[in-house]
Amino acid sequence: MKQLVITLIGTDRPGLVETLSDTVFQHHGSWQASSLSKLAGKFAGIVQIDIKEENVNALTDALNSIPDLNVLIAEAAHQAETDTTTHTLSVTGNDRPGIVQEVTREIAKFGININNLETDAESAANFGGVIFKAEFDLDIANNISLDDLGAALEGLSDDLIVEFDESDI
């Protein structure tokens, strides 16, 4: 059995996810996990599937034949056990160019892996500006201080609000 990670981007339209799931099913694959979104009018997603090796080429051909959809397929990597805990980090502040780069640079300085990142920028009518919000799922080594990481992130800008919640993801 192979585990594949499939990355997709294309023109969003009704029925696209059904077409994808049916294609996986018709080729005897098992849909394990996914993250699918509509961004700027495009459909974008990542899907993890399990499939027998003898069905991989036919599935690849079928997915690549779906109109207006770009597909990239990779075999999943083996994940080594680590001495980490998963935490959720929320960052909120005034939107500005470079905020994602600044925050991710600080996270990288601590050697922390980002498992998931979701961002949004919303109009803040009461303040007359745009508020940036980010939520990170992080694998943080048990010897790293959340207080130190929080202080480093808050030191990026006076307006950043940084909060951690331990998660059992």
Q: What are the residue boundaries of the structural domains of the chain, listed by start? A: 2-75, 84-166
Start-to-end CA distance of the chain, whole Å, equals 25
Angular region, 35: left φ>0, alpha ψ -120 to 50, beta rest: beta
CATH code for residues 84-166: 3.30.70.260
Nearest-10 Cα torsion for 36, 40, 43, 45: -40
Say if CB 55 and CB 74 are below 8 A apart.
no
Residue 168 has pLDDT above 50, yes or no: no
Tens digit of pLDDT for each residue in 126-152?
Answer: 778 999 999 999 999 999 999 999 999
- Cα gap 126→110, rounded to integer Å: 35
Q: Which CATH superfamily is domain 2-75 in?
A: ACT domain (3.30.70.260)
2-75 and 84-166: identical CATH topology:
yes
Q: What is the pLDDT of residue 133?
A: 98
Band (166; pLDDT cuts 50, 70, 90): low
Interval 109-133: pLDDT, tens: 999 999 999 999 999 877 789 999 9
Indicate the length of the chain as a whole number.
169
Per-residue confidence (pLDDT) for residue 77, from 0 to 100: 87
Mean pLDDT of 20-27: 98
Positions of E strands within 18-157: 30-39, 42-51, 69-75, 84-94, 113-124, 129-141
